[in-house]
Amino acid sequence: MITDSNILIVGSGGREHAIARALARNPQTRIFAAMNRMNPGIAELAYKVLITPETDAESIRNFCLQHKVTYACIGPEAPLEAGVVDTLTKAGIKCMGPAKEAAKIETDKTFCRNLMKKHQIPGLPEFYIFHSGTDAESFLRKTTKEFAIKPSGLTGGKGVRIIGEHLDHDQACQYVHELAGDIVIEERLIGEEFTLQAFVDGKTLVPMPLVQDHKRAYEGDFGPNTGGMGSYTLPDHRFPFVSDDDYNQAFSIMKKTVNALAAEGTPYIGILYGQFMNTATGPMVIEFNARFGDPEAMNVLSLLSSDFTAIVMAITSGTLENAEVVFAEKATVCKYLVPEGYPDAPVTDGKLVTGPENSAICYYASVVKEGDHLITQSSRTMAYVGIGDSLQEAERIAEEAASAVIGPVRHRRDIGTQMVLEKRVQHMKEIR
């Protein structure tokens, strides 16, 4: 039996709206929110809202103490890197989100790769670390091999460039000089991507349904990388292009990573997000995130049928082993509406009118509500999630709601279609 609980959500995107919705299903949960701009969906569910930089640990702590908040769910990576969890924990607030040192698994790619190497965790691509653009360039000049080039720190998923995909060798040699801080150069992985997220209490991991995100801005996976344009899951929580062996290997890599962090004296508590490339020889780690994915949170939390408040409590008290975690065996399709011109030159202050939504769930992101209208900002605007017995049904529900919105926004119509799924399956057959 869960007693009354005051829970804070940090963050203002679609992911945090999904967290708020999931928590709000427990009528005893009282939601508080700290966000850098007003998300109209979260505001509607929250008892009190604090508008603050999401990295301002002190103002968030004071807000919690003032309102007797005992738990906090951290949505984005920036507050994790800023040590918000460390500050809240010291004040006695239990956090679903890792402390700053453990969050380095996402915020510091050099740390992540070195940890995997030291603990001999499988799924590690060949990698090299450079402290300057000059050193990175001289390495690249000596090879014709295709590599992925990544700034070691956070870039909102937009700093990675792949030779042979986004740029050629010469352009790569120039690109490394544009990067600040350490540079990670790693083997270009070929395959199909999938995301495995898990609840983690420091030692136990409970997996969530597999999700596939779509990073590219345009249909057919063209255009610049974005924070994610949409995502889907299947009723069996797996994908036909990920075998049982691949899945077990990916989950084992995540468990080993959590064990490695514990062994280093930085136990991991929160959501671990594993981004994998399923290659000819099995899953390889593209990256870890120290939080739910956005949009991926909207898929999995829309399916969660057990009490999320109880799960947050189990994560933060080390009792996840005994927690009830059940996801409905249905498909989900999430489609983000983004301002025209996003991500390079987004049209802001565009007026939107929504149409019939039917059973689609609407999650707000970077959008302002003015009366009956919604006004676009510079980032992803809002998302629709369709839930169905089949992918086709879920896709139809999300697509109908997304295409009924009138105003200067666009979305990817191909996300969650059977054709895209078949393309992934076919690609996997070709490389294996």
The nearest distance, CB 160 to ligand AMP, in angstroms, is 4
423 interacts with ligand AMP by CB under 6 A: no
Determine which residue in the list 98, 123, 157, 209 makes contact with ligand GLY, applying CB under 6 A. Answer: 157
What is the greatest pairwise CA distance in the chain?
63
Q: Which one of ligand AMP, ligand GLY, none interacts with residue 386, CB within 5 to 8 A by kind?
A: none
Q: What's the rounded Cα separation, in Å, for the pair 162 and 168?
A: 8
293 interacts with ligand GLY by CB under 6 A: yes
Cis check for the bond before 207: say yes or no (omega within 30 of 0): no
Q: Which stretch binds ligand GLY (CB under 6 A): 124-132, 169-177, 185-193, 292-300?
A: 292-300
215 interacts with ligand AMP by CB under 6 A: yes
CA separation, residue 268 to residues 83, 262, 296 (Å): 14, 7, 20
CA separation, residue 47 to residues 93, 199, 271, 307, 393 (Å): 18, 26, 25, 19, 35
Q: Which stretch binds ligand GLY (CB under 6 A): 161-169, 290-298, 382-390, 417-425?
A: 290-298
Q: Which stretch binds ligand GLY (CB under 6 A): 165-173, 197-205, 287-295, 329-337?
A: 287-295
Q: What's the rounded Cα separation, in Å, for the pair 91 and 64?
A: 9
The nearest distance, CB 210 to ligand AMP, in angstroms, is 15
User: Could you tell me how many residues make up the chain?
Assistant: 432
Size of the site for ligand AMP (CB under 6 A): 16
Determine which residue in the list 122, 125, 133, 408 makes contact with ligand AMP, applying CB under 6 A. Answer: 125
189 interacts with ligand AMP by CB under 6 A: yes
182 interacts with ligand AMP by CB under 6 A: no
286 interacts with ligand AMP by CB under 6 A: yes
Determine which residue in the list 101, 192, 201, 294 makes contact with ligand GLY, applying CB under 6 A. Answer: 294
283, HSE (Cβ side, Cα atoms, 13 Å): 24
Angle at 302 between CA 301 and CA 307, to 5 degrees: 60
Identify the bridge partners of residue 277 per DSSP, sorted by sequence position.
193, 284
Residue 127 region, left (φ>0) first, then alpha (ψ -120 to 50), else beta? beta
Determine which residue in the list 148, 234, 250, 382 makes contact with ligand AMP, applying CB under 6 A. Answer: 148
Q: State which residue, 43 or 160, has the beta carbon closest to ligand GLY.
A: 160
Size of the site for ligand GLY (CB under 6 A): 7
- Phi and psi of 282, rounded to 5°? 115, 180
Coil, strand or helix: which one is 337? strand
Token code pair at residue 141: 């000049």
Determine which residue in the list 186, 294, 395, 399 makes contact with ligand AMP, applying CB under 6 A. Answer: 186
Residues of this chain, 212-231, that bind ligand GLY according to CB under 6 A: 213, 228
Q: What's the rounded Cα separation, in Å, for the pair 408 and 337?
A: 10
Q: Which residues contact 72 (CB under 8 A, 6 or more apart)?
A: 7, 8, 9, 10, 60, 64, 85, 88, 93, 94, 95, 96, 97
Instruction: Report the DSSP pairing between strands 382-388 and 216-218.
Output: unpaired
Q: Which one of ligand AMP, ligand GLY, none interacts with residue 160, CB within 5 to 8 A by kind?
A: ligand AMP
Token code pair at residue 344: 């390079």
Q: Which stretch binds ligand GLY (CB under 6 A): 62-70, 291-299, 313-321, 359-367?
A: 291-299
Determine which residue in the list 12, 89, 110, 289 makes contact with ligand GLY, applying CB under 6 A. Answer: 289
Q: Which one of ligand AMP, ligand GLY, none interacts with residue 294, CB within 5 to 8 A by kind?
A: ligand GLY
Residue ranges that bind ligand AMP, judged by CB under 6 A: 125, 148, 150, 157, 160, 162, 186-189, 193, 215, 225, 275, 286-287
Residue ranges that bind ligand GLY, judged by CB under 6 A: 157, 213, 228, 289, 293-294, 296
